[in-house]
């Protein structure tokens, strides 16, 4: 369990992290979302003992990260922002070095290194010097070192940044597979990633916690929740007819797409019935779950989403 207690970090008069408190339990995959400079990386650095808080602290399974940093770090795997490593080593040498630094038993070092290499699909480059690897492969090496000691807690700062689409999927699959009995905290700017891997989201801006909820609950705060969007010929005429339906509260036409906002239940059925009755040519039609980007924007630009 991680217990964060009034954690703050100031640089001079500037508060990068401002009085954060929250608890994370095993099985939770927590996503930090927030604009650039929100304090996500700073918070992660304090949780992993790389940065001393100005005030407050965090307990990792009851161990204080400020008072007992070395012990607290043992159960944590950490992928720092930008995935720094030792560029002059080969992948295998670096992972071996990390394994020994993690005090993995001498007889288990090779097995741990092989396991991490296999999990991150690094076998083809294991003898290559890290500084000659592409950005995505460097990130994969960073992920491999984070899981080398099979830690109970994983803190991953933008784990899929710079990965190709296949590797993004692969890393998300890996995170989901590891999630069951671990605590995983990731930061990301990719909203689909939050929906794909997280079961809890914290939206942070200017060092403060603005929302703490499940992705599904956040999406339901969107004004698009249960709206119906369609692409249709003669959109303006269609808009004025559909706008008369009692189930429609409001109509918007944006870049050729018509969106109908609900006034109570039954909107989708009413719209499809009207489309058939009028034999309109519809090339796309969907019931919206909600839009996380809109919720993110609303929350981080001052107003709380309804
Ligand atoms: N050593 C430092 N001295 C002064 N200000 C700093 C220092 N380190 C970080 N900051 C500031 O603290 C704020 C939070 O930075 P942080 O890296 O935590 O943001 P972030 O949420 O991770 O952003 P991003 O999404 O861009 O990674 C920023 O305004 C940053 O400029
Ligand atoms: Mg960051």
What pLDDT, in 10s, does the model give residues 192-208?
Answer: 999 999 999 999 999 99
Report the nearest-CA residue for atom 1 of ligand 1.
11
Nearest to 29 by CA among 193, 182, 190, 211: 182
Give pTM, 2 decimals: 0.91
Residue 299 lies in a domain: no
Give the pLDDT confidence of 38-51 residue by residue, as tens digits.
Answer: 999 999 999 999 99
Residue 260 lies in a domain: yes
Residues 200 and 267 in one domain: no
Report the nearest-CA residue for atom 31 of ligand 1.
37
Residues 137 and 193 in one domain: yes
Residues 127 and 242 in one domain: no
pLDDT score for 302: 77
Residue 13 lies in a domain: yes
Residues 191 and 247 in one domain: no
Residues 145 and 6 in one domain: yes
Residue 152 lies in a domain: yes
Report the nearest-CA residue for atom 18 of ligand 1.
39
Answer whether residue 306 shows pLDDT above 60. no
Residues 142 and 280 in one domain: no
Contacts of 69 (CB under 8 A, 6+ apart): 49
Give the pLDDT confidence of 80-89 residue by residue, as tens digits.
Answer: 988 778 889 9
Report the nearest-CA residue for atom 5 of ligand 1.
11
Q: What is the mean pLDDT of residues 103-111?
A: 93
Give the pLDDT band of residue 74 (cuts 50, 70, 90). Answer: very high
Q: What is the CATH number of the domain that holds 195?
A: 3.40.50.300
Using the 3D structure, point to which of 192, 220, 248 is the last residue of a domain: 220
Ligand 1 within 6 A of CB of 290: no
Q: Which ligand is nearest to the CA of 54?
A: 1
What distance in angstroms lies between residue 37's CA and the mean position of ligand 1's atoms? 5
Residue 297 lies in a domain: no
Counted domains in the chain: 2
pLDDT score for 303: 55
Q: Which ligand is nearest to the CA of 202?
A: 1
Residues 108 and 237 in one domain: no
Ligand 1 within 6 A of CB of 38: yes
Residues 7 and 45 in one domain: yes
What distance in angstroms lies between residue 82's CA and the mean position of ligand 1's atoms? 13
Residue 179 lies in a domain: yes
Give the pLDDT confidence of 131-187 residue by residue, as tens digits.
Answer: 999 988 999 999 999 999 999 999 999 999 988 999 899 899 989 988 988 999 999
What distance in angstroms lies between residue 37's CA and the mean position of ligand 2's atoms? 7
Report the nearest-CA residue for atom 28 of ligand 1.
37
Residues 47 and 171 in one domain: yes
Q: Which atom of ligand 1 is nearest to the CA of 32?
A: 21
Residues 90 and 47 in one domain: yes
Give the pLDDT confidence of 205-246 residue by residue, as tens digits.
Answer: 999 999 999 999 999 999 999 999 999 999 999 999 999 999
Instruction: Specify whether the CB–CB gap between 126 and 90 falls below 8 A.
Output: yes
Residues 88 and 237 in one domain: no
What distance in angstroms lies between residue 158's CA and the mean position of ligand 1's atoms? 14
């Amino acid at each position: 369990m991680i217990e964060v207690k009034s954690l703050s970090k100031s640089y001079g008069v500037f508060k990068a992290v401002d009085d954060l408190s929250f608890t994370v339990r095993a099985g939770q995959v927590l996503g930090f979302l927030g604009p650039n400079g929100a304090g996500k990386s700073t918070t992660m650095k304090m949780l992993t003992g790389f940065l001393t808080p100005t005030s407050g602290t965090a307990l990792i399974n009851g161990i204080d990260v400020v008072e007992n940093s070395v012990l607290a770090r043992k159960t944590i795997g950490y992928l720092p922002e930008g995935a720094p490593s030792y560029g002059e080593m080969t992948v295998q040498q670096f992972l071996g070095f990390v394994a020994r630094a993690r005090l993995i038993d001498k007889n288990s070092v090779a097995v741990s290194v092989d396991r991490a290499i296999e999990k991150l699909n690094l076998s083809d480059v294991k003898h290559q010097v890290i500084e000659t690897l592409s950005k995505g492969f460097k990130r994969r090496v960073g992920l491999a070192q984070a899981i080398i000691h099979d830690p109970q807690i994983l803190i991953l700062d933008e784990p899929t940044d710079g990965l190709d689409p296949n590797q993004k999927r692969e890393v998300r699959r890996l995170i989901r597979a590891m999630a069951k009995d671990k605590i995983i905290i990731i930061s990301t700017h990719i909203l689909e990633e939050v929906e794909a891997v997280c079961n809890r989201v914290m939206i942070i801006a200017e060092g403060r916690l603005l929302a703490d909820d499940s992705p599904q609950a956040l999406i339901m705060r969107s004004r698009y929740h249960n709206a119906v969007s369609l692409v249709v010929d003669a959109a303006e005429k269609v808009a004025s007819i559909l706008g008369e339906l009692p189930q429609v509260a409001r109509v918007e036409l944006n870049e050729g797409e018509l969106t109908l906002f609900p006034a109570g239940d039954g909107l989708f059925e009413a719209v499809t019935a009207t489309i058939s009755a009028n034999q309109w040519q519809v090339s796309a039609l969907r019931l919206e779950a909600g839009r996380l980007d809109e919720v993110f924007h609303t929350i981080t630009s001052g107003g709380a989403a309804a």
